[in-house]
Each structure stands twice: as structure tokens, then as C-alpha cells.
Amino acid sequence: RSKALSVAPILTKFQKDCDTPLPVLRYVADAMADDMRAGLAIDGGSDLKMILSHVDTLPTGNEKGLLYGLDLGGTNFRVLRVQLGGKEERVIATEFEQVSIPQHLMFATSQELFDFIASGLAKFVEGEGNRFHLPPGRKREIGFTFSFPVNQTSIDSGILIKWTKGFAVSGTAGKDVVACLNEAMERRGLDMHVSALVNDTVGTLAGARYYDDDVVAAVILGTGTNACYIERKDAIPKLQGQASSSGKTIINTEWGAYSNGLPLTVFDREMDAASINPGEQIFEKTIAGMYLGEIARRVLLAMAEFAPLFGKSIPEKLFKPFVLSTPDVCAMHQDVSNDLQAVGSILYNVFGVESDLSARKAVVEVCNTIGRRGGRLAGAGIVGILHKIEDFEDVKLGKRRVVAMDGGLYGNYPQYRRYLKEGVAELLGTELAKNVAIEHTKDGSGIGAALLAASNSIYR
């Protein structure tokens, strides 16, 4: 008996449980739009927080002057400066720098972390060359991309709800992160002004919109996932009394928390139960980079327990959570050689096992099943947003709409990208899908924040 045949029942069941036929995609797209509506009605109205970004002014292309961007969202922070020349000259000059955050600062006090950031920023400012010009009497303005959950109180202030992604800095939660940065800059003698505080999805949308007026939404597919889009203020009941209800604003959906009607398997449920946030971020756990490798590992373990997939004994490493990464899944999925050589060496490197062709084929099918489900469901989420935006009338009338995409998963995993676009096309139909462009904008969030600092400048 071949090994592939003997793991067949598990594989078949897994494929069936992960299946995303059109009715499932349609359900997810519709329920996503419904959840968005409920989250806009009142705070806590649905799984989706639908956070008000307070970004009401998008870049137009007319922005001028010297702006800085500061991006804190993971183990690095990035600084950039850009000289903008308005409609004609556009981006005249730009410079970036990336600073890695020492491990100990992730467990330090708020003051220590922000002092480190202010000091990195100050050094970067000192290196400002003669291609950059600040009008006399003005402060340098910053757009601050901060990709942790924030209760945004205005365009330039927001209270940190909690640190995530491995940060355990004491004393920031419950405080305005812009105030924390301002105090640190003051201690450092750095006289700059934070004019915009933005989430990375919002920065991505702004960065993409600068180049293309048809951009209406931005999606991040990296370690985690999130999406934001441009909404009419009169479609946001919970805004009531806060501001005039005319015009548009950006809504940060926090769509990773979506959970309705997803095709989940026993492996998803077990991974969720073992996670640090059981029952939360279910959409994210089904489609984002942090989890796809771990789902695959759990399936392979079940297969090896059921049949001698990698020989008689089960390799020790197959029991270890998160040893198989999403880039590994992607690389195995990519292997088109006759003997699946790359699959064999990844299995050897990660789990220390020898594998024959039938085992490798089963592994590729597991990767394909996970990538396919993730990509197609991400596509359904995007269609949910498009439906919500303007009941889709404009697209039906043939108007072009663009969704800006960023993140390492989307950028590096071609099959996932293909499945995502396939899901969108199936839901919209090929004719309408022609009016929707899904465009990869790499690292647009930093420059997007600088652009938002310009459109929300104190010197406007």
C-alpha cells in the first residue's frame, strides 16, 4: 500500500472541511459586509471593531514640503523623510533608515522604549542632506505609523489598548502614544510635531491613494491581517454628535476578528484552543502568515499518527508547535519538480525525516488546501468590503476601483495571490471583476503616514 493512499482518508476529510465553493464565499462576503454595518452602528456591535481613524483628508498629490514618517509595528522601526513638490514635481527626494529594536527594550519601560525611538529619530534628522528643505520658522512634522491596537481619539492622538506581537512594555497601555513620543522627543531636545497617528493599513491606503485616485481600500496580509477602507460619514451611525456627518473618512475594520461561517477544521479548532487568544482573531488564524504553517504541521502530525507517512515512527519535531513556517509551506507549494526535491529537503530540514514521493505529494496537497482556503477567503473579505462601500453601484457602472495590498504573505506567495484573485473573480463575475484592480504596493505605509502628516499639517 502506498503511503499516500493510507493517509488518503485524512487528506480527503481535510480538503472537504476546507472547501470554499461559491456559496461559502458568497456567505462570507455578505456576512463580512453585515458585520461591518453592525460595527459602524455602535461600538461592540459586531466582531469587527470598525475603528474611526479620524483621517478625513486624503493625500491629493498637491502636498508640498518636507515630511517625516516613523513606523513602529514590529521588531524594527523605520524612519523616512520625503520632500514633496506638489502636483508637478511629486516626490522630489526620499530617504529611509531601519533600526532594529534590541530585545530587552521589548520588555522595558515605556520611557526607555520611546527614548530609544526618539534617539534613533534624532540621529536620522541630524543626517538630513541638502535635498531637503524646511521653510524657516517651521517645525518638522511627523506621520507616526503605529500598528498596535489603539483607541484613536483624534488624527494626532490615540490611547494604546495593549501591546501585541511580543511587546511587553510597561506603562504605555492606557496612555496616548503620541504624548509618549512627544515627551521622549522633548527629553532628547528634538523639536518635531506629530501631525498624524495612523494604523499601517491606513498608511498603506494613503500611500496608494497618492498615486491613484481610484484606491478605495487597503489590505495587509503579513504575519497578521487587517483592512481599512474609505467610508461615507453619513453611513456611520456611531459618529452621531461627534462631527458633522458629511464627507468621508477612513475606517480601520480590524477584520482579523471576523468569525462568521468560515470553513474550519479540527486542526483550526485545536490550534485556536492552544493559542494565547482562544476564540479571537479567527479570520486571521485562517488566512494570515503566522498560522498557515502551523495548520499544515497539525495536519501532517495527524497523518503520521494515522499511517506511516514518514516511516514507522513519528518524528519528534512534528510535535513542536510552529516549527513549520508559512514560507516553508509556500516553498513546498511551489515545487514543480518530478521528484518534489524541494519538498523533500524542507521536510528533512524541518522535521528531520526522509520522505518518498507519495508522502511528498500528500504534503503538497496539504499546502495547496491551506493556501487555497486562505486566499479564497481573503478574496471573499475583499468583496465584502467592496459591497459595503457603495452598494457597488459605481463598479456596476464600469467605474474602476483599486484595492491596495501589502504584507509579506501576499507579496511572497504567488499561489495564494492567484487563489485570492480567483475568489474575487468568482464572486464578482469576470465582467465586474475587470473593474476591480488588486494592486501590490510594497511598503507604502511609511510614506503614506508622511503624506497624511502633510494633509493634516498644522501649517495648512
User: Footprint of ligand ADP on this chain (CB under 6 A)?
Assistant: 73-74, 222-224, 289-290, 326-327, 330, 407-409, 412-413
For residues 288 and 402, which CB has a smaller minimum distance to ligand ADP in the complex?
A: 288
Could you tell me which of 150, 148, 194 has the C-alpha nearest to residue 174?
150
In Å, how far are 104, 114, 168, 170 from 108, measured between CA atoms? 6, 10, 8, 6
Q: Output the smallest distance, CB 150 to ligand ADP, in A.
A: 16
In Å, how far are 118, 249, 255, 289, 426 from 194, measured between CA atoms? 12, 20, 27, 31, 43
In Å, how far are 7, 262, 385, 458 from 17, measured between CA atoms? 16, 10, 25, 54
For residues 39 and 222, which CB has a smaller minimum distance to ligand ADP in the complex?
A: 222
- DSSP annotation string for 332-359: HHH--STT-HHHHHHHHHHH-----HHH
Is residue 402 within 8 A of residue 437, CB to CB? The reply is: yes
Q: Output the smallest distance, CB 335 to ligand ADP, in A.
A: 13
For residues 222 and 384, which CB has a smaller minimum distance to ligand ADP in the complex?
A: 222
For residues 226 and 456, which CB has a smaller minimum distance to ligand ADP in the complex?
A: 226
Is residue 143 within 8 A of residue 69, CB to CB? The reply is: yes
> End-to-end CA distance of the chain, in Å?
74
Residue 42's CB: how many other CB atoms inside 10 A?
12
Report angle CA 264, 278, 416 to the nearest 5 degrees: 45
For residues 253 and 457, which CB has a smaller minimum distance to ligand ADP in the complex?
A: 253
Q: Which H/E stretch holds residue 154?
A: strand 150-154
Q: Output the smallest distance, CB 285 to ligand ADP, in A.
A: 13
What is the grid cell recorded at 44? 461592540
Q: Output the smallest distance, CB 409 to ligand ADP, in A.
A: 4
For residues 71 and 231, which CB has a smaller minimum distance to ligand ADP in the complex?
A: 71
Q: Which H/E stretch holds residue 51?
A: strand 51-52
Is residue 171 within 8 A of residue 110, CB to CB? The reply is: yes
For residues 367 and 432, which CB has a smaller minimum distance to ligand ADP in the complex?
A: 367
Q: Output the smallest distance, CB 445 to ligand ADP, in A.
A: 9
Q: Output the smallest distance, CB 41 to ligand ADP, in A.
A: 30
Is residue 184 within 8 A of residue 114, CB to CB? The reply is: yes
For residues 59 and 407, which CB has a smaller minimum distance to ligand ADP in the complex?
A: 407
For residues 6 and 415, which CB has a smaller minimum distance to ligand ADP in the complex?
A: 415
DSSP 314: P
